[in-house]
């Protein structure tokens, strides 16, 4: 197996930096070092170039970080990104459901999943929690595309048996059989893991939610992903459909769907009891700032979630979100909290999209840092692209200032190279301007 060394400014986090400290413990920054990779894993770092037997990849002067983790993104929605003029429920009916219907076709699913996986890598995201569509073939295509690229992927066929067009509906029995088959063939195979993927409570009957809960109870190592409390009309609709539940989140709890491997997108319109329930069950909120702004959904209270002890990770939520780029997502998250009067540090934002996400997914032994033993999912970035960013970068008086300016200004043009398990999976071929 080849041994590879990557030269650059190595940056990762070894501890939770909290929300606002600009000089916390646990920021590990080694200017001009070589990151050593052997057998697809990180094995160390050193200031001098390793000798014979190593392939040298010289990115001197560039930023080298763990690949980003996107904890909520929709594979079939690339084609509806940037669709005008709707809030959530209209947006689903007008744009998203028609687009997803086409993924019944295996060729559409395979082409869509390949495009999506390559696009993630071209944005510096090496691990993701992914919604495909209701069609089993779309989950299959997603796992195949991720496995072909060696990527860590958590996904599963979407469960939805009501309140959508006929081409997007399953039934409980067939859905259970499809999930079981996907679990048998994909869960724990290389870097793939299965998630019971409940679209959202309004699209599933009680029987379907109960089936998902049963499967989850039978295999505690399975994940669960869904949406919750994103939009006020959606919350009101969930309350109408499930009058017996204390809250929208409680619908999932009643069906045994909350646990330490549950990833719930949004969670804007939760109350104190909901936040306590998240903390008690270990479920995480995947905060999707660009989506929340674009669809006019609302401004999440990050501080309240952390105060309650709930985990918060960051996600693009493309196609409701407007970019697959996690630096863009971090920058939007900063602005959302600025509107709440909270000034998140760059370290808090980075943590939520790397080490913190890995911990919340129980994958911190594998992803999220440049720690020896972790898989070599590594991204290499220009500190600045263009004269304005270059001037801002040169003016930075501290590492925090420099990195905050980077995340505020960077996008996929800054990305020079992406490695997955030590293999180069994206290489920028033209110099950015």
Residues in contact with ligand GUN by CB under 6 A are 74, 88, 92, 96, 199-200, 227, 230, 291, 317, 320
Q: Decide which of Zn ion, ligand GUN, none touches 370; Cβ closer than 5 to 8 Å per partner kind.
A: none
Name the minimum Å distance from CB 131 to Zn ion. 6
298 to 295, 309, 336: CA distances (angstroms): 8, 21, 9
Name the minimum Å distance from CB 319 to ligand GUN. 7
Among candidate residues 422, 381, 387, the one with its CA nearest the CA of residue 403: 381
Query: For ligand GUN, which residue has the nearest CB?
Result: 320
Name the minimum Å distance from CB 72 to ligand GUN. 8
At 112, phi and psi to the nearest 5? -65, -40
* Shorter beta-carbon distance to ligand GUN: residue 74 or 275: 74
Figure out which of the listed residues 317, 332, 366, 412 binds Zn ion, where binding follows CB under 5 A.
317
Within 264-293, which residues bind Zn ion (CB under 5 A)?
265
Q: Is the dihedral of CA 214, 218, 222, 223 positive or negative?
A: positive
Name the minimum Å distance from CB 329 to ligand GUN. 14
Rounded to whole angstroms, how far apart are CA atoms 418 and 426? Answer: 5
Rounded to whole angstroms, how far apart are CA atoms 75 and 155? Answer: 10
* Shorter beta-carbon distance to ligand GUN: residue 286 or 367: 286
> Which range in 120-128, 208-216, 315-323, 405-413 contacts Zn ion by CB under 5 A?
315-323
Rounded to whole angstroms, how far apart are CA atoms 121 and 418? Answer: 6
* Shorter beta-carbon distance to ligand GUN: residue 21 or 119: 119
Name the minimum Å distance from CB 76 to ligand GUN. 9
Rounded to whole angstroms, how far apart are CA atoms 331 and 344? Answer: 10
Name the minimum Å distance from CB 348 to ligand GUN. 23
* Shorter beta-carbon distance to ligand GUN: residue 91 or 347: 91
Residue 419's beta-bridge partner residues?
Answer: 378, 424
Within 28-87, which residues bind Zn ion (CB under 5 A)?
none
404 to 32, 60, 81, 194, 331: CA distances (angstroms): 20, 20, 26, 35, 9
Rounded to whole angstroms, how far apart are CA atoms 265 and 269? Answer: 12
Residue 430's beta-bridge partner residues?
Answer: none
Q: What is the DSSP letter of 375?
A: B
Q: Decide which of ligand GUN, Zn ion, none touches 230; Cβ closer than 5 to 8 Å per partner kind.
A: ligand GUN
* Shorter beta-carbon distance to Zn ion: residue 297 or 354: 297
* Shorter beta-carbon distance to ligand GUN: residue 314 or 385: 314
* Shorter beta-carbon distance to ligand GUN: residue 320 or 327: 320
């Amino acid at each position: 197996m080849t041994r590879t060394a990557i030269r650059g400014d190595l940056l990762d986090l070894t501890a939770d930096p909290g929300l606002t400290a600009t000089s916390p413990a646990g920021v590990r920054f080694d200017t001009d070092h070589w990151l050593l990779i052997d057998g697809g894993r990180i094995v160390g770092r050193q200031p001098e170039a390793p000798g014979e037997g190593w392939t040298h990849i010289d990115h001197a002067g560039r930023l080298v970080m763990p690949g980003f983790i996107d904890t909520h993104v929709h594979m079939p929605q690339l084609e509806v990104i940037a669709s005008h003029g709707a809030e959530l429920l209209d947006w689903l009916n007008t744009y998203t459901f028609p687009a997803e219907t086409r993924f019944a076709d295996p060729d559409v699913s395979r082409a869509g999943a390949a495009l999506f996986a390559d696009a993630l890598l071209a944005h510096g995201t090496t691990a993701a929690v992914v919604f495909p569509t209701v069609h089993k073939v779309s989950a299959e295509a997603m796992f195949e595309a991720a496995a072909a690229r060696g990527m860590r992927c958590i996904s599963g066929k979407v469960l939805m048996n009501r309140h959508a067009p006929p081409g997007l509906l399953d039934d409980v029995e067939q859905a259970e059989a499809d999930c079981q088959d996907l679990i048998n063939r994909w869960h724990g195979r290389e870097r793939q893991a299965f998630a019971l993927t409940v679209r959202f409570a309004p699209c599933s009957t009680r029987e379907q939610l109960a089936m998902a809960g049963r499967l989850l109870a039978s295999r505690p190592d399975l994940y669960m992903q869904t949406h919750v409390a994103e939009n006020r009309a959606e919350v009101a609709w969930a309350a109408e459909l499930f009058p017996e539940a204390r809250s929208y989140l409680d619908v999932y709890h009643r069906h045994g769907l909350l646990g330490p491997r549950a990833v719930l997108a949004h969670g804007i319109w939760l109350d104190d009891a909901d936040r306590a329930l998240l903390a008690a069950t270990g479920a995480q909120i995947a905060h999707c700032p660009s989506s929340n702004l674009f669809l006019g959904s609302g401004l999440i209270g990050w501080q309240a979630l952390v105060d309650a002890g709930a985990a918060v990770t960051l996600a693009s939520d493309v196609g409701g979100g407007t970019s697959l780029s996690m630096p863009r997502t971090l920058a939007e998250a900063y602005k959302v909290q600025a509107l709440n009067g909270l000034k998140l540090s760059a370290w808090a934002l980075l943590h939520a999209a790397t080490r913190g996400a890995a911990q919340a997914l129980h994958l911190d032994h594998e992803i999220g840092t440049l720690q020896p033993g972790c898989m070599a999912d590594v991204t290499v970035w220009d500190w600045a692209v263009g004269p304005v960013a270059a001037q801002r970068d040169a003016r930075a008086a501290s590492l925090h200032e420099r990195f905050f300016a980077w995340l505020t200004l960077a996008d996929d043009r800054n990305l020079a190279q992406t490695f997955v398990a030590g293999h180069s999976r994206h290489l920028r071929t033209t110099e950015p301007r």
